[in-house]
Amino acid sequence: MNTAYKEFDVVVVGAGPGGLGAAVQAARNGAKVLLVEKNGYLGGNMTIGLPFFGFLDRDANVVMAGLPEEFMAEMRNYETAYGHAASEHCYCPMHNSVTVFDYELFKIVALRKVLDAGVELLLHCDVESVNVENKTLKSITLMGKGYRITVTAKVFIDGTGDGDMAYLTGASFEKGQKDSGVLQPSTLMFNMGNVDLEKTIKFVEEHPEQMDQSKTMEIYSGYDASHFRKYPAFVLFGMKKLVSDLRAEGKMPIDRENLIFISSLLPGEVHLNCTRHLGTDGSDVFSLTHAEVEGYLQIEKLVKTLQEYVPGFEKSYITQIYPSMGIRESRRFSGIRTLTENEVVNGVINEETIGIGGYPVDIHNGNGAGTIFTKTPPYGIPYGITVSDEIEGLMFAGRCASMDAVAMSSARVMGTCMTIGEAAGVGAALAVKKGISPKDVDVQEVRDILRNSGVIVEL
Asked, for residue 133, whether it belongs to a domain, the answer is yes
Between CA 41 and CA 30 the distance in angstroms is 24
- Give per-residue pLDDT as tens, 366-376: 887 788 999 99
Quote the pLDDT of residue 178: 82
Mean residue pLDDT of the chain comes to 96
Residue 408 has pLDDT above 90, yes or no: yes
Give the global pTM. Answer: 0.97
**What amino acid occupies position 92?**
C
- Per-residue pLDDT tens for 332-350? 999 999 999 999 999 999 9
Do 242 and 144 share a domain, yes or no?
no
Amino acid in position 227: H
Do residues 34 and 165 share a domain?
yes
Query: Please, which pLDDT band fits residue 146 given cuts at 50, 70 and 90?
Result: very high
Q: What's the pLDDT at 37?
A: 98
What SS3 class is residue 133?
strand
Q: What is the pLDDT of residue 82?
A: 85
Backbone angles phi and psi of 399, in degrees to 5: -75, -10
Question: Is 459 part of a structural domain of the chain?
Answer: no
> What is the sign of the dihedral through the CA atoms of 395, 396, 400 and 406?
positive
Rg (CA), the chain: 21
pLDDT band at residue 263 using 50, 70 and 90 as cut-offs: very high
pLDDT of amino acid 79: 86
Q: Is 296 helix (H, G, I), strand (E, B) or coil?
A: helix
Average pLDDT over residues 207-211: 95
Statement to judge: residues 260 and 368 lie in one domain? no
Cα maximum dimension of the chain: 66
Over residues 259-278, mean pLDDT: 96
Same domain, 234 and 292: yes
Which pLDDT does position 1 carry in this prediction? 80
360 closest CA partner among 235, 179, 173: 235
Residue range 364-392: mean pLDDT, rounded: 93
Cα-Cα-Cα-Cα dihedral of 409, 176, 301, 194, to 10°?
Answer: 20
Helices marked H in 207-252: 225-230, 240-248
Higher pLDDT, 394 or 214: 394
Q: Coil, strand or helix: which one is 279?
A: coil
SS3 state at 350: coil
pLDDT, residue 355, reads 98
Say whether pLDDT at 292 is over 80. yes
Residue 111 three-state SS: helix
Q: Which of 184, 236, 189, 160 minimizes the C-alpha distance to 50?
A: 189
* Residue 457 located in a structural domain: no
CB 200 within 8 A of CB 310: yes
Based on the structure, what is the number of domains in the chain? 2
Is 37 in contact with 418 (CB distance < 8 Å)? no
- Predicted confidence at residue 255, as pLDDT, reads 85
Please check whether residue 185 lies inside any domain of the structure.
Answer: no
10 Å CB burial of residue 443 (0-12, 13-18, 19+) is middle
Instruction: Look at residue 294 in the predicted model and tell me its pLDDT.
Output: 96
Q: Does residue 231 lie in a domain region?
A: yes
Query: Residue 409 above 90 pLDDT?
Result: yes
60-69, 278-287, 360-369: least confidently modelled range: 360-369
Q: Going by DSSP bridges, is the β-strand pair 332-333/353-357 parallel, antiparallel, or unpaired?
A: unpaired
Number of alpha carbons in the 13 Å side-chain half-sphere of residue 441:
32
11-39: pLDDT as tens digits: 999 999 999 999 999 999 999 999 999 99
Residues 171 and 282 in one domain: no
Which pLDDT does position 68 carry in this prediction? Answer: 98
Q: Is the pLDDT of residue 179 over 90?
A: no
User: Are 11 and 138 part of one and the same domain?
Assistant: yes
User: 169 and 226 share a domain?
Assistant: no
pLDDT score at 365: 85
17 and 143 co-located in one domain:
yes
CB-based burial of residue 178 (10 Å sphere; 0-12 exposed, 13-18 middle, 19+ buried)? exposed
Residues 11 and 128 in one domain: yes
What phi, psi does 349 have (nearest 5°)? -130, 120
For residue 346, what pLDDT is reported?
97
- Where is the domain boundary, 290, 321, 352? 321
What is the predicted pLDDT for the residue at 366? 82
pLDDT the model gives residue 316: 98
Lowest-confidence pick of 75-84, 229-238, 429-438: 75-84
Asked whether residue 296 falls in the same domain as residue 402, the answer is no
Query: Is the same domain home to 423 and 379?
Result: yes
Using the 3D structure, point to which of 299, 321, 343 is the last residue of a domain: 321
Asked whether residue 236 falls in the same domain as residue 172, the answer is: no
Quick check: is 15 in a domain? yes
Three-state DSSP class for residue 148: strand
The answer to whether the beta carbons of residues 391 and 169 sit under 8 Å apart is: yes
Instruction: Kindly tell me if the per-residue pLDDT of 412 is higher than 90.
Output: yes
Q: Structural domain of residue 431, as residue ranges?
A: 2-90+99-180+329-452
CATH of the domain at 161: 3.50.50.60
Residue 458 within a domain: no
Q: What pLDDT was estimated at residue 297?
A: 96
> Considering only CA atoms, which of 426, 413, 418 is closest in space to residue 387?
426
Q: Pick from 321, 349, 382: which residue ends a domain? A: 321
